[in-house]
Amino acid sequence: MVNVEVTPLPGIGTRQDFVARSGRRIGVITYRDGHFDLIVSKHDDPDSCVASIPLTVEESGALANLLGAPQLVALLEEQNREVAGVSTRQLPLAPNSPYDGRTLGDTALRTRTAVSVVAVVRAGTVHPSPRPDFVFRGSDLLITVGTAEGLAKAVDVLENG
Amino acid sequence: MHNTAISLIELGAVFFGLGILGRLAWKIGISPIPLYLVGGLAFGAGGLVPLEGIEGFTELAGEIGVVLLLLLLGLEYSAAELVTGLRRSWLAGVVDLVLNAAPGAVVAFLLGWGPVGALAMAGVTYISSSGIVAKVLGDLGRLGNRETPVVLSILVFEDLAMALYLPILTAVLAGTTLLGGFTAVGISLVVITVVLVIALRFGRYVSMVVDSPEPEVFLLRVLGAALLVAGIASQLQVSAAVGAFLLGIAISGSTAENATKLLEPLRDLFAAIFFVVFGLNTDPRSIPPVLAYAVGLAVLTTLTKLVTGWYAAKRQGIARMGRARAGAALVARGEFSIVIAGLAVAAGAVDEQLAALATAYVLLMAILGPVAARVVEPVARAVQRKVGTPATT
């Protein structure tokens, strides 16, 4: 169980952080105007920070995707273990993909590659079982289930249309 | 017509000059306040270029600068933050008050300025510049540090102390007796409590009066309300600054945040004029006689802020390096020291040299503060290595 500490910073915003098993403090500062800083404490001085990285709302969403999706993939992998030949993978939809701004139906992924999109992770939020009219946006992460061959094809479809 | 042209040219030159000074200040990593003061000293009486014909405007603009400085100080922290801050850090706050007000008061007595001068100088050396401190902490990437909430809570306490101190100072400056002084303390305690309760319980109604979705309407209303309250407070002998400050505390939530965003550029403009006017009214020739005192105070009150920060951070279980950082962060004095000195000098109840001493002191501390915050880590590490035992400063 991770114990997240919430500390008010009067006049600035809030700091939320936790101490990781490695002894480093990791967290975010939420400013009053809504932007974030990612903070990581120094190795030799846990009171101070080695980095304080300003993130826009989109950037923090992207980071949340990167950190949140693997957990979902691991969970699905566990569930699909009995089914031989089927694996779960997270496929990124690049911002310049031909399907950025188009629907899941447009990709015809299921017909063309037999791969199912079981969830889409966007800005750290999981959208389970997307319907064919689900509109993709750049830097979405697609959680997909399929055969190795089908998944390889799906990567190509998402990149090149 | 001709006079207007000259006034515009003079004003334009002053603003443009301040712009260049401000840019220079941020480039070398210090606050622009000392440079504005130097700019003021350079013009005015005994300075290089006397400015004529714009005094009417600059005097009033300087007053508006004080109102805006205090209004934004009030807006900075919500009433809830003030109350929790008071509960958590009152002991560190009291240590801060005693250690840092005492040197100013003692020097004022040494110079024979009497109790009124001592009260004013105590305020000048006590209050850290929350503007400089917040800016430096942000610039150095220390907002995520563990000692930062400690530093901020001391600033919050100082904020509340100001709310008590300013009405008392105003009453004393107006020449009231000891009994009158106590009455002022009593009245200000009641007023602060009432304002805090209003802000906590009915803050949204106060906010509703000034709030508007249109930025320009909002700006006009906030500014209008601030000047009205300040004017009325001034008429009631409570000082315009206090009125604006209390209005700032009473406005809360998102209204306060939006008001801060809208008013910041205005405050920077008018506060710059205020510093220049303060510099203008200070004769540069009056500084050398008090310079030694200013340097002594600077050294002493740098140490007392270091001790304050060290003590407050230690109470929160922060390691030595963090304690040193907390102390160094608090060293900067600035805008509010000048506001206090300005109130005292304007009332005419203190020695004229107070302005010179306050100017020299703030010049030193506004430069020393950001420098101290920057060099504290390497210095503390060097001391630690040399002595072999943990650093104490």
Closest Cα partner for B36 from B326, B362, B256, B353? Answer: B362
**Who contacts A152 (Cβ-Cβ below 8 Å, separation ≥6)?**
none
Closest Cα partner for A122 from A138, A106, A108, A144? Answer: A138
Find chain B residues with C-beta within 8 A of A51's C-beta.
141
Helix (H, G, I), strand (E, B) or coil at B224: helix
pLDDT tens-place string over residues B48-69:
566 666 778 888 898 899 999 9
Q: Where are the domains of chain B?
A: 2-387
Please, what is the angle between helix B335-347 and helix B33-42, to 10°? 40
**Residues on chain B bordering chain A, Cβ-to-Cβ distance under 8 angstroms:** 76-77, 81, 84-85, 130, 134, 141-149, 152-153, 155-156, 257, 261, 318-319, 321-322, 325
Kindly state the helix (H) or strand (E) to which residue A30 belongs, with its residue range: strand A25-31
B152 in Cβ contact with B93 (< 8 Å):
no
B373 in Cβ contact with B140 (< 8 Å):
yes
Report whether pLDDT(B163) > 90: no
Half-sphere exposure of B139 (CA within 13 A, CB side): 17
Classify domain B2-387 at the CATH class level.
Answer: mainly alpha
Closest-CA distance, B157 to chain A, in angstroms, reads 11
Alpha helices in chain A (DSSP H): 57-79, 104-107, 109-113, 148-160
pLDDT tens-place string over residues B3-32:
788 888 888 888 888 888 888 887 887 788
Report whether pLDDT(B389) > 60: no
Find chain A residues with C-beta within 8 A of B325's C-beta.
47-48
Kindly determine whether residue A47 and residue B145, on different chains, have CB atoms separated by under 8 Å. Answer: yes
Q: Which residue in B has a C-alpha nearest to residue A49's C-alpha? A: B145
pLDDT tens-place string over residues B248-268:
888 877 788 888 888 989 998
Find chain A residues with C-beta within 8 A of B76's C-beta.
10-11
pLDDT-flagged residues of chain A (< 70): 1, 81-82
- Global confidence as pTM: 0.79
Report whether pLDDT(B303) > 90: yes
Task: Take residue A102 and report the two structure tokens written for it.
Answer: 């188009």
Report whether pLDDT(B184) > 90: no
A 42-71 residues inside an 8 A Cβ radius of B: 45-49, 51-52
Closest-CA distance, B254 to chain A, in angstroms, reads 9
**Confidence class of residue B391 from pLDDT cuts 50, 70 and 90?**
very low
Kindly determine whether residue B322 and residue A7, on different chains, have CB atoms separated by under 8 Å. Answer: no
3-state secondary structure B25-71: HHHCCCCCHHHHHHHHHHCCCCCCCCCCCCHHHHHHHHHHHHHHHHH
Task: Take residue B235 and report the two structure tokens written for it.
Answer: 């008429």
Report whether pLDDT(B93) > 50: yes
Pairing of strands A25-31, A36-41: antiparallel
Q: What is the pLDDT of residue B392?
A: 45
Q: What is the pLDDT of residue A35?
A: 82
Q: Where are the domains of chain A?
A: 5-55, 60-160
pLDDT tens-place string over residues B192-222:
788 778 777 777 777 787 788 888 888 898 8
**Who contacts B16 (Cβ-Cβ below 8 Å, separation ≥6)?**
none
Classify domain A60-160 at the CATH class level.
Answer: alpha beta
**In the predicted model, what is the mean pLDDT of chain B?**
85
Strand pairing partners for A49? A41
Q: How far is it, in rounded angstroms, from Cα B217 to Cα B227? A: 15
**Who contacts B388 (Cβ-Cβ below 8 Å, separation ≥6)?**
none
What is the rounded radius of gyration, in angstroms, for the C-alpha atoms of chain B?
A: 21
Report whether pLDDT(B97) > 90: yes
Q: Alpha-carbon dihedral of residues B297, B302, B304, B308, nearest 10 degrees?
A: 150
Own/partner pairs, B313-317, CB within 8 angstroms, 24+ separation: B313/B147, B313/B150, B315/B91, B315/B92, B316/B146, B316/B147, B316/B149, B316/B150
Task: Take residue B193 and report the two structure tokens written for it.
Answer: 């409590």
**Who contacts B112 (Cβ-Cβ below 8 Å, separation ≥6)?**
B351
What is the rounded radius of gyration, in angstroms, for the C-alpha atoms of chain A?
A: 19
Report whether pLDDT(B47) > 60: no
Find chain B residues with C-beta within 8 A of A52's C-beta.
141-144
B232 in Cβ contact with B243 (< 8 Å):
yes
